A and B are shown apart, each in its own frame.
Chain A
Amino acid sequence: MTADEEKIEEPKGPEIPQEIPAGWQANIIAFACHYCAFAAADLAGVMRLPYPANVKVVRLPCTGKLDHIYLLRAFERGVDGVFAAG
């Protein structure tokens, strides 16, 4: 086994499902295109469509601007979900 292979070896076995504590709320970050998804989020408000408050939107000029480092940083810092829309 080469050193490189050692490094990329992934943990074996299936993920152990965790108990979801009562009252737990996912922390979600959405990356949204200014022209479509961000506009759609606005329209949801204009139409008073309710949804859970645990999602915060980061506006991008275009989803083409979405960079993997944004996603990695979000997960690294403990968000439970990322939503990219555009």
Chain B
Amino acid sequence: MPLVVGWLAKNEGLIFMEGLDVTRITPGQEGKNRIGSALVVGSGIGGMQSALDLANSGLLVHMINDEPSIGGTMSRLDKTFPTGDCAMCMISPRMVEASRHANIKMYTLAKAIKVTGEEGDFTVTIEEKARYVDAGKCTGCGACDAKCPSRVLDIFNQGLNKRRAIYALFPQAVPNTRAIDSDHCLYLNKGVCRKCEKVCDADAINFEDKDKQYDLHVGSIILTPGLKTYEPDIRQEFGYGRHDNVVTSLQFERLLSASGPCSGTVTRPSDGGHPKKLAWIQCVGSRNSHNANPWCSSVCCMYAAKQSIIAKEHDPEVDSTVFYMELRAFGKDFDKYIDRAKNDAEVTYKRAMVSEVIEDPETKNLIIHSVDDEGKLLNEEFDMVILSIGFEPREDAAEFSEIFGIDTDEYGFAQTSKLRPVETSRNGIYVAGTYQGPKDIPETVIQGSSAAAKSMASLGESRGTEVVEVVLPPETDIEGQDPKIGVIVCHCGTNIAGTVDVQKVADAVAGEAGVAFTETIVYACAPDGQQKIRDVIKEKGLNRIVVASCTPRTHGPLFQDTIREVGLNKFLFELADIREQCSWCHMADKEKATEKAIDIVKMNVAKTRLLDPVNTSSVGVTHTALVVGGGIAGMTASLSLADQGYGVHLVEREDTLGGLLTEVDFTLDGDNVREFLTDVTRRVDSNPDITVHTGTTVANLDGFVGNFVTTLANTKTVNHGALLIATGGAEYSPTEYGYTESENVITQRELEKMLAEKEPDNGESYVMIQCVGSREEPDNYCSRICCQDALKNSIAIKEKAPDALVVVIYRDIRSYGLKEDYYRKARDLGVIFLLYTPDDKPEVIQGEGGLKVTLSGKVLGKEIAIDADYVVLSTGLRPRPDADELAKKFKLTCNIDGFFMEAHVKLRPVDFPSEGFFLAGLAHAPKNLEETIGQAQAAAGRAGALLSHESLTVSGVISKHNRDICMSCLMCVKRCPFGAPFIDEDGMVSHNEVKCTGCGICAGVCPAKAYQVNYFRDDQILAMVDSVTTG
């Protein structure tokens, strides 16, 4: 288990310095009837999330995928919305983390072909394609690709360039071993070539490799196979495949990517020029039953905004236009991102359905017709057109569902219920991500954790039974010994040695103080190379090691484990990066490269001389969670935690459980919410592991991860290891449109209640107004549920009273994902949708004859007046009025709208930055019931993985505080993002190492130098500087 504390904090990073010490508990559970392992099918961001959560909770995970690398769709993206973060920088550490986890077994080029058995005991037959490269021997050096004569369209780069038949899927591929594409290898097809074999110094090519079949025995299965993108060739009117400069959005993503086919300088396929006028066409392949898919793909509006913003960042002269039908920016902070695209990146948004893209045969520019606000036809010329293609289930989805024996919906997505969003029709098989329906990265991650939580609950009794504990020899005491440093310089085949004179490097550092041994080695990371390192440590009595090879980011932990296996503390090691940061960048000047390599190794020797062993301490864990908020999020999380085997204290400020859901009767999909809520409440009340505290709040929180002590307002004290915040939101009570003056101006919630009590009448007219109190300053965010509420109530009226008039006056109908079906259904039933813009709102007039709604007609060209029996306001959601106060109490932060901020928008959507704090429900952002349930289960899964530990080991790379020289100036207390420094009972500053993540901000700001970060001490850094300078 890679030391949980450091890892949760760093999120992406964990592999930083830590190894694989395993401590595990099965809290109060001894039964072992079910197999304590799970199969995760697919290893995109959702699959990896499931795998990591399960593995961290003490279950063994088998993770399979059918590509040669893990990473899925996210690895193909350049940046992500709405933060513009680099996708690869986020997913790459996750991939390394998953591949190095002691409890995750990874199988690439593999797929399941048969599943038998039942929940708790499945047998899955796996078929693994021959890789023709021995993963144990391949070092990922890439010497082979350069020699391979066979050119193949690069699928990863969406066919924009060519790769070789022996290849890595992408530069950061995990595992970093090549694979041979058997369809295109000359030797495998024609019996000649074998050039890769000749050039491979590691002897890793194996043309005798065969496809394999084997069985895996697992207790549960999580399906995260991911998606296929729509192929737009069929829409001939857009000219994809005929016009060179019409590309898909995923192709454009690769064009933007620094590691893509044109290194991030966007070029036109026709002539390699830099396109200045770009157009995006939205909904290509989505929201259309003709030659396309009827659903909304959920992400295209946002990625088009992202791509247009990034394109502008790349080239300020870029002028972008987005042709769209409806702007679906329904997620947290999404509307603000669209505003950024409009205002900062000067993107023009045009509401238009594009009928045709015409190519100018001379210039290869593209002409799009559209209609402007005055109704005039416009012809606009663009340098490049990007088709915003949607998602669909994979081609093999039907076969896939048959193999796993699960039901699918009419479109081929896995069938789930809105009340059980990650459960398939077969017990013990769960689903996450886009196979359950179109969704973005954070929702996929949430479902990944949610599916893991269901699996943990199912297999809780068998936790710890299948995983292996690593037993290591005691550490050698080097106290008082002079440094005896061994320096191993790696050739990496010809990767380093082809450019850098490695022998010269070894000779140059042999005379450095403290260096007792130097040697060059062909592949330091290969099994024989590592054995060599172990041997020389023992033979020569070395007490510190420097390996000069590749990057510490991927290979550091490997060598740290190697030296630890022969008793050296893991922190008596440093890796000098002379490949990525030297030989690969300076191939043209071998002399300079060798000089630089010598400097890099000297710097690391200078640091290593001063390295000391770092001992990691650990703290115990209270296997109980405190859940704050007794709405559906809090109750769902409590049940999940109890099912996993942990104790739960559930605190609710009101006297009864249920929260906002008590106001809801049905979901858009027709699920009976009232019955569901009654059942959940009963299960919470009757669960012996859940203690419910109603009518009270949290008065004070003390302690730290694993060991919190909370005092409630009713003076009761609760000890707990994790804290889950599900404090909910509030419904907006409107003042607009005469709501307070007329009893026939009502909210959607009130309409729902009214419809439950009396049937609508054919003679009635209902006029709904959307976005009341949402999407405008000061509440400039989408409340997400109101469009669904409007559709739900419209359909309910029209189904019972087909002749009733139902008009929805809207800005954008945001029926994202599969909810698009209901938008279509409402239109089919005769619901009338009329557009308004925020600067031209409808008016509600209360005359003697009743209500009248007028809509002036900028969009329609003439004013409309509708007599309304009821004006129904679609009012949004608000954060709880006391959210700020709560945030202060728990030392958490809120976004500008007053919703709690998660640790990371994309990859840690249910965690807080503070260790041991988790988040779910409306407190995070507006969301519907299905999403709330999913997020609550996810938060419970994340908390459960934490609570499964007997103890938490404090990360080695942490800041050490010297209280003797500290002046308690409080700079550190103010600056630490994790709240680790605190004012102790003596009124002085003390430092809580459990909360520390080792970022070193405290050390940077401390005027007294009272902080030193282990492994990055000032003397160590300065020694590096000194070693390559002359004083």
22 contacts between A and B (CB under 8 A): A34-B16, A34-B552, A39-B92, A39-B553, A43-B580, A45-B551, A46-B172, A46-B584, A49-B263, A53-B582, A53-B585, A53-B595, A54-B592, A56-B603, A57-B577, A57-B600, A60-B1016, A61-B16, A62-B1000, A65-B999, A70-B1018, A70-B1022
Distance of A69 Cα from B552 Cα, bound (Å): 25
- A residues near B579, Cβ cutoff 8 Å: 45
Binding-face segment, B47-55, B108-116, B789-797, B1023-1031: B1023-1031
Contact with B171, one of A43, A53, A61 (Cβ below 8 angstroms): A43
Distance of A42 Cα from B584 Cα, bound (Å): 9
Would B1021 and A36 count as touching, CB distance under 8 A?
no
- B residues near A27, Cβ cutoff 8 Å: 1028-1029
A40-84 to B contact mask, C-beta < 8 Å, 1/0: 011111111111111011111110111101100110111100000
- A residues near B93, Cβ cutoff 8 Å: 35
A51 and B585 in contact (CB under 8 A), knowing A38-B553, A61-B1013, A67-B1018?
yes
Would A64 and B1000 count as touching, CB distance under 8 A?
yes
How many whole Å from A40's CB to the nearest CB in chain B?
Answer: 8
How many whole Å from B68's CB to the nearest CB in chain A?
Answer: 17
Contact with B1024, one of A42, A44, A58, A61 (Cβ below 8 angstroms): A58
Distance of A48 Cα from B171 Cα, bound (Å): 11
Would B1016 and A78 count as touching, CB distance under 8 A?
no
Distance of A73 Cα from B579 Cα, bound (Å): 27
Would A70 and B1025 count as touching, CB distance under 8 A?
yes
Would B171 and A65 count as touching, CB distance under 8 A?
no
Distance of A67 Cα from B552 Cα, bound (Å): 22
Contact with B599, one of A46, A52, A56, A62 (Cβ below 8 angstroms): A56
- B residues near A49, Cβ cutoff 8 Å: 263, 585
User: Does residue B471 face the partner (Cβ distance < 8 Å to A)?
Assistant: no
- A residues near B460, Cβ cutoff 8 Å: none
- A residues near B1001, Cβ cutoff 8 Å: 62, 64-65
- A residues near B989, Cβ cutoff 8 Å: none
Would B171 and A47 count as touching, CB distance under 8 A?
yes
How many whole Å from B516's CB to the nearest CB in chain A?
Answer: 24
- A residues near B1021, Cβ cutoff 8 Å: 58, 60, 67, 70
Would B1026 and A77 count as touching, CB distance under 8 A?
yes
Would B584 and A45 count as touching, CB distance under 8 A?
yes
Would A35 and B172 count as touching, CB distance under 8 A?
no
- B residues near A50, Cβ cutoff 8 Å: 585-588
User: Does residue B946 face the partner (Cβ distance < 8 Å to A)?
Assistant: no
Would A57 and B1000 count as touching, CB distance under 8 A?
no
Contact with B1025, one of A35, A61, A62, A74 (Cβ below 8 angstroms): A74
Q: Which 4 A-B pairs have the closest CB atoms?
A: A65-B1000, A45-B580, A64-B1001, A77-B1029
Would A46 and B553 count as touching, CB distance under 8 A?
no
Please give 14 more A-B residue pairs, beta carbons under 8 A apart, in addition to A67-B1004, A67-B1018.
A35-B13, A39-B553, A41-B580, A41-B581, A43-B171, A43-B172, A43-B580, A46-B580, A47-B171, A58-B1024, A70-B1025, A77-B1025, A78-B1031, A79-B1029
How many whole Å from B137's CB to the nearest CB in chain A?
Answer: 21
Residue of A whose beta carbon sits closest to that of B140? A46
For chain A residues 7-39, which have a beta carbon within 8 Å of chain B? 27, 29, 34-36, 38-39
Would A61 and B584 count as touching, CB distance under 8 A?
no
Residues of A in contact, count (CB < 8 Å): 40
User: Does residue B988 face the partner (Cβ distance < 8 Å to A)?
Assistant: no
Would A35 and B12 count as touching, CB distance under 8 A?
yes
Which A residues have a C-beta under 8 Å from some C-beta of B? 27, 29, 34-36, 38-39, 41-54, 56-62, 64-67, 69-70, 73-74, 76-79
How many whole Å from A58's CB to the nearest CB in chain B?
Answer: 5
User: Does residue B278 face the partner (Cβ distance < 8 Å to A)?
Assistant: no
A29 and B172 in contact (CB under 8 A), knowing A50-B587, A53-B582?
no
Residue of A whose beta carbon sits closest to that of B574? A59
User: Does residue B82 face the partner (Cβ distance < 8 Å to A)?
Assistant: no
How many whole Å from A48's CB to the nearest CB in chain B?
Answer: 6
User: Does residue B669 face the partner (Cβ distance < 8 Å to A)?
Assistant: no
- B residues near A58, Cβ cutoff 8 Å: 603, 1021, 1024-1025
B533-577 to A contact mask, C-beta < 8 Å, 1/0: 000000000000000000111000000000000000000000001
How many whole Å from A34's CB to the nearest CB in chain B?
Answer: 7
Residue of A whose beta carbon sits closest to that of B264? A47
Would B1003 and A67 count as touching, CB distance under 8 A?
yes
- B residues near A77, Cβ cutoff 8 Å: 1025-1026, 1029-1031
Range of interface residues on B (Cβ < 8 Å): 35 or more
User: Does residue B373 face the partner (Cβ distance < 8 Å to A)?
Assistant: no
Distance of A76 Cα from B690 Cα, bound (Å): 63
User: Does residue B719 face the partner (Cβ distance < 8 Å to A)?
Assistant: no
Residue of A whose beta carbon sits closest to that of B263? A47
Contact with A36, one of B89, B172, B595, B1022 (Cβ below 8 angstroms): B89
Distance of A46 Cα from B580 Cα, bound (Å): 6
How many whole Å from B904's CB to the nearest CB in chain A?
Answer: 12
Would B1029 and A78 count as touching, CB distance under 8 A?
yes
Residue of A whose beta carbon sits closest to that of B1024? A58
How many whole Å from A67's CB to the nearest CB in chain B?
Answer: 5
- A residues near B10, Cβ cutoff 8 Å: 35
B990-1031 to A contact mask, C-beta < 8 Å, 1/0: 000000001111011000000001011010011011101111
User: Does residue B259 face the partner (Cβ distance < 8 Å to A)?
Assistant: yes
Contact with B585, one of A29, A34, A45 (Cβ below 8 angstroms): A45
- A residues near B1024, Cβ cutoff 8 Å: 58
Contact with B589, one of A53, A56, A57, A70 (Cβ below 8 angstroms): A53
- A residues near B580, Cβ cutoff 8 Å: 41-46
User: Does residue B371 face the partner (Cβ distance < 8 Å to A)?
Assistant: no
Distance of A52 Cα from B603 Cα, bound (Å): 19
Residue of A whose beta carbon sits closest to that of B172? A46
- A residues near B577, Cβ cutoff 8 Å: 42, 57
Would A66 and B1004 count as touching, CB distance under 8 A?
yes
- A residues near B596, Cβ cutoff 8 Å: 53-54, 56
Distance of A83 Cα from B765 Cα, bound (Å): 68
How many whole Å from A56's CB to the nearest CB in chain B?
Answer: 5
User: Does residue B179 face the partner (Cβ distance < 8 Å to A)?
Assistant: no
Contact with A53, one of B89, B593, B1003, B1013 (Cβ below 8 angstroms): B593
Contact with A59, one of B552, B586, B1004, B1022 (Cβ below 8 angstroms): B552
Would A65 and B13 count as touching, CB distance under 8 A?
no
Would A73 and B1026 count as touching, CB distance under 8 A?
yes
User: Does residue B957 face the partner (Cβ distance < 8 Å to A)?
Assistant: yes
User: Does residue B258 face the partner (Cβ distance < 8 Å to A)?
Assistant: yes
How many whole Å from A80's CB to the nearest CB in chain B?
Answer: 10
- B residues near A34, Cβ cutoff 8 Å: 13, 16, 552-553
- A residues near B1025, Cβ cutoff 8 Å: 29, 58, 70, 73-74, 77, 79
Would A42 and B585 count as touching, CB distance under 8 A?
no
- A residues near B1022, Cβ cutoff 8 Å: 69-70, 73
A56 and B586 in contact (CB under 8 A), knowing A42-B551, A43-B171, A77-B1030?
no
How many whole Å from B1025's CB to the nearest CB in chain A?
Answer: 5
How many whole Å from B695's CB to the nearest CB in chain A?
Answer: 44
Distance of A41 Cα from B93 Cα, bound (Å): 15
- B residues near A62, Cβ cutoff 8 Å: 998-1001
- B residues near A35, Cβ cutoff 8 Å: 10, 12-13, 89, 93
Distance of A48 Cα from B16 Cα, bound (Å): 24
Would A65 and B1029 count as touching, CB distance under 8 A?
no
Would B1028 and A29 count as touching, CB distance under 8 A?
yes
- B residues near A60, Cβ cutoff 8 Å: 1000, 1016, 1021
How many whole Å from B237's CB to the nearest CB in chain A?
Answer: 38
